[in-house]
A = this chain, B = another copy of it.
């Protein structure tokens, strides 16, 4: 597996990072353009907080983990300045999107904006230790914990009481965000937050009888037979499993790592499209038609996060099954998402058959994050071990 380390490193540093350095910087207004076509041309100038924050995180992390490249720190600061100036409402909640100049377009209904902002400023503080970056990360994180019970606030359209569901995404992101912010939160808070979340994920969202991870469960942790309750998102579950593996390594908890490995393989085997290859985006627990019209598409992040989970598994115990699956998913991802013609960032959206159907490198939901993070994680994991 060692030979993949070099390949992933080369792709990251020769293709992916230069693409974003070259095409995404808004030097006039600050922040980044993320709506870039396959030639790198900007086709839309709106700025989505998820993606602004994630790009700050990525360039801070490259500076921290790869080498101290001054240009990378400057790119991180270009986004941070823009977000500090424009990103929050008066209560400190992060908007969902801004226009090119930074005027708010969409209200702070989406708590993942806050999650990625906390991670961005936490990572930036590591490479540029200004107190205000740490403060932004910490107050944002506290705000997330405070909003945790009703993350959408007044924008929540669910009628209370009839069918209250818990959603998988926030606990999952908090596993990752807590670890990312440990230098600011301290060991005790990280343990307090993650212990209960890991229990929730591994014993409630993980539905033991079926071996599948549910996206939504009842307040008491039960399966609910409805569109939301039947929803499966294999990529989400697999990504969460490598977050849990990281927590297991940190706690030296082999049983937890092995349970995460088992659950990861179950989602992968269940989510793999035996007809066309690749991993489905959404599935229905009972095999009924999902409500998501895009359910059978193959998305970049699903496959890249799976490669990270498989690399980590292999690094942990050299399980030959991890190698077989890594090579299978690697083949699929490199042959389908990678842009052989133009190079640069990878494509993101394939139809079920594996054909690119959106000729973009970035958009409203795809920015400078999953591809570079996964390439870096796979490279470092296969080179240095877990």
Contacts and interface: CB of A to CB of B under 8 A. Distances in A.
A203 interface: no
Interface string A330-366: 0000000000000000000101100001111001110
A107 B157 contact: yes
Contacts of A273: none
A188 to B, nearest CB: 36
Interface stretch (A76-84, A96-104, A170-178, A375-383): A96-104
Nearest to A281: B293
A294 to B, nearest CB: 4
A173 to B, nearest CB: 20
Contacts of A106: 157-159
A252 B294 CA distance: 44
Contact of A155 (B157, B291, B359): B157
B158 A105 contact: yes
A95 interface: yes
A321 interface: no
Contact of A162 (B104, B296, B360): B104
A215 interface: no
Contacts of A291: 363-365
* Residue from the set A107, A162, A297, A360 with the largest chain B CB neighbour count within 10 Å: A162
Given A37-B289, A46-B226, A163-B105, A155 B155 contact: yes
A250 interface: no
A363 to B, nearest CB: 6
Contact of A157 (B96, B99, B286, B358): B96
Chain A interface, DSSP helix/strand/loop, else mixed: loop
A288 B37 contact: yes
A30 B155 CA distance: 30
B107 A296 contact: no
A95 B157 CA distance: 10
A159 B107 contact: yes
A98 to B, nearest CB: 8
A99 B162 contact: yes
Nearest to A46: B226
A154 interface: yes
Contact of A293 (B43, B286, B294): B294
A74 interface: no
Contact of A43 (B35, B288, B296, B359): B288
B289 A293 contact: no
Contact of A289 (B157, B352, B363): B363
A195 interface: no
Closest 9 A-B residue pairs measured CB to CB?
A293-B294, A104-B159, A43-B288, A289-B360, A289-B358, A103-B162, A107-B157, A109-B157, A291-B364
Given A103-B159, A106-B159, 19 more contacts: A37-B289, A43-B288, A44-B225, A44-B227, A44-B288, A46-B227, A103-B162, A104-B159, A105-B158, A105-B162, A106-B158, A107-B157, A107-B158, A109-B157, A289-B358, A293-B293, A293-B294, A351-B351, A351-B352
Interface of A: 35, 37, 43-44, 46, 95-96, 99, 103-107, 109, 154-155, 157-159, 162-163, 225-227, 286, 288-289, 291, 293-294, 296-297, 349, 351-352, 357-360, 363-365
18 contacts: A35-B288, A37-B288, A44-B226, A44-B227, A46-B226, A96-B157, A99-B163, A103-B162, A105-B159, A105-B162, A105-B163, A106-B159, A154-B155, A289-B358, A289-B360, A293-B293, A293-B297, A294-B294
